[in-house]
Amino acid sequence: MDQKMLLERVESLYPWLKQVRRDFHQNPELGMEEYRTRDKIAAYLKEMDIEVQTGIANTAVVGLIRGGSPGKTIALRADMDALPMQDEKSVSYKSAVDGKMHACGHDAHMAILLGAAKLLSEIKDQLNGNVKLLFQPAEETVGGAKPMIEQGVLENPAVDGVLGLHVSTEEYTGQIGIRYGQMNASSDGIKIILHGESTHGAYPHSGVDTIVMAGQIITSLQSIVSRNVDPRDSAVVTIGTIQGGTKQNIIANRVEMIGTVRTLDPEVRSKVIDRIEKLVTQVASAMGGRGEVLREEGYTALVNDDRMVDLVRNTGRGLLGEENVLEVKHATLGVEDFAYFAAAVPGAFFRLGCRNEEKEIIYDGHTTLFDIDEEALKTGVAMQVSNVFSFLGEGQ
Ligand SMILES: CC(=O)N[C@@H](CCC[C@H](N)C(=O)O)C(=O)O
């Protein structure tokens, strides 16, 4: 399929792409609960006469398009889960589920992958090789990529390369962002438990106040990035929740806080974790209490493969023009469990611009007003279909 035909076909698919994306947007489901989403995806793929597998990693869906002639296999991945947030947009397609929202664009990622699947399935006889469609649950929580790999999704046929994309309001619609090497950080979850001694709020000297201890610790934790990490490196320490106390006049004897640590470099990662442990235990002890830190290792860092990035860059230059293929300057401290696919086979993750100031599409992901310029759905489909052609090569 030449570029002109591809763009025409994508244009004619646009109403369907919007409808698919809006349906997901209105019906968000959290990680590992993507049951409706799974069933919808499986039904769409079956309608397209694509081989479908479910029952993997709880709610994952894997599609397989077998090309007309033998060749390599490329996998395209989309994440499926929504976030526990209230949708505050005033649009007809806003979330219909209280407290849940597609605030990170996974609805768009799924619509794009389904759009690419539809186009590729129509011309599958022309493909030299296969296309695997990986619909992955729980990117925002426990991660679906790792269990999918463990359950064999990169085998039978063996996958030779993998591509994923993420909508981004840092680039405008019609642009993509690429990066060689390190793309996303690694993460660690931390739980901090502070033990003190309760007493009457009017007689604090008789107890050990874990609320004041928590205040001291939260402030001190912020000095790790500013005073222990080399300014030329990157790290983030965020406390996301804090819980403790029962009444205004009782000194709280227990506080629990949870947070996330993001780093780009393994040495910085161990140093930050070590400093957190020392700070929590020693500040708590100095204040007469006890502090514990429980660490939960999160996602691995996402490192792009140079040749796969070359492929995306060349596709982008041909399709969107050289000026619309932007180099992402810094790796992000966000994490992405696409990292596990990219660690298993050569992979590239790129950003798909969806910013449009005229339509007020300017809000970052994980905010209650987040939305995308839906025109970007077309760019996403055209990019992924072209990437597949370049990777596999077209037949006669
Ligand atoms: C297991 C794990 O580390 N999960 C992550 C999920 C966060 C995903 C999101 N893309 C982000 O960057 O925050 C976690 O930190 O809980």
Burial class for 167, CB neighbours closer than 10 Å (0-12, 13-18, 19+): buried
CB-ligand 1 contact for 187 (6 Å cutoff): yes
- For 56-108, the pLDDT digits (tens) are 999 999 999 999 999 999 999 999 999 999 999 999 999 999 999 999 999 99
CB-ligand 1 contact for 260 (6 Å cutoff): yes
CATH 3.30.70.360 residue ranges of the chain are: 186-297
104 assigned to a ligand binding site: yes
- For 195-209, the pLDDT digits (tens) are 999 999 999 999 999
Does residue 394 have a pLDDT over 80? no
CATH code of domain 186-297: 3.30.70.360
Average pLDDT over residues 307-317: 98
183 and 300 Cβ atoms separated by less than 8 Å = no
Rounded distance from Cα 142 to ligand 1 centre (Å): 8
Share of the chain above pLDDT 70, in %: 99
- For 122-174, the pLDDT digits (tens) are 999 999 999 999 999 999 999 999 999 999 999 999 999 999 999 999 999 99
CATH 3.40.630.10 residue ranges of the chain are: 3-185+301-392
Average pLDDT over residues 226-244: 97
Question: Which amino acids are annotated catalytic?
Answer: 299, 374
Of all protein residues, the one whose alpha carbon is nearest to atom 7 of ligand 1 is 140
In the structure, what pLDDT confidence band is assigned to residue 1 with cuts at 50, 70 and 90? confident
366: tokens are 């994980």
297 assigned to a ligand binding site: no
Nearest atom (ligand 1) to Cα of 299: 3
pLDDT of residue 335: 97
* Predicted ipTM > 0.85: yes
Rounded distance from Cα 61 to ligand 1 centre (Å): 21
pLDDT of residue 371: 97
pLDDT of residue 396: 36
- For 9-57, the pLDDT digits (tens) are 999 999 999 999 999 999 999 999 999 999 999 999 999 999 999 999 9
Of all protein residues, the one whose alpha carbon is nearest to atom 1 of ligand 1 is 298
Q: What is the DSSP letter of 248?
A: T
Domain covering 3-185+301-392, topology: Aminopeptidase (3.40.630)
55: tokens are 């029952």
pLDDT of residue 206: 98
25 assigned to a ligand binding site: no
CB-ligand 1 contact for 142 (6 Å cutoff): yes
Single-letter code of the amino acid located at 352: L
**Ligand 1 pocket test target in 79, 260, 349 with most atoms within 8 Å of CB:** 260
354 assigned to a ligand binding site: no
CB-ligand 1 contact for 79 (6 Å cutoff): no
Q: What is the pTM of this model?
A: 0.92
Other beta carbons within 10 angstroms of residue 156's beta carbon come to 11
387 and 311 Cβ atoms separated by less than 8 Å = yes
Q: How far apart are the first and last CA of the chain?
A: 10
In the structure, what pLDDT confidence band is assigned to residue 393 with cuts at 50, 70 and 90? confident
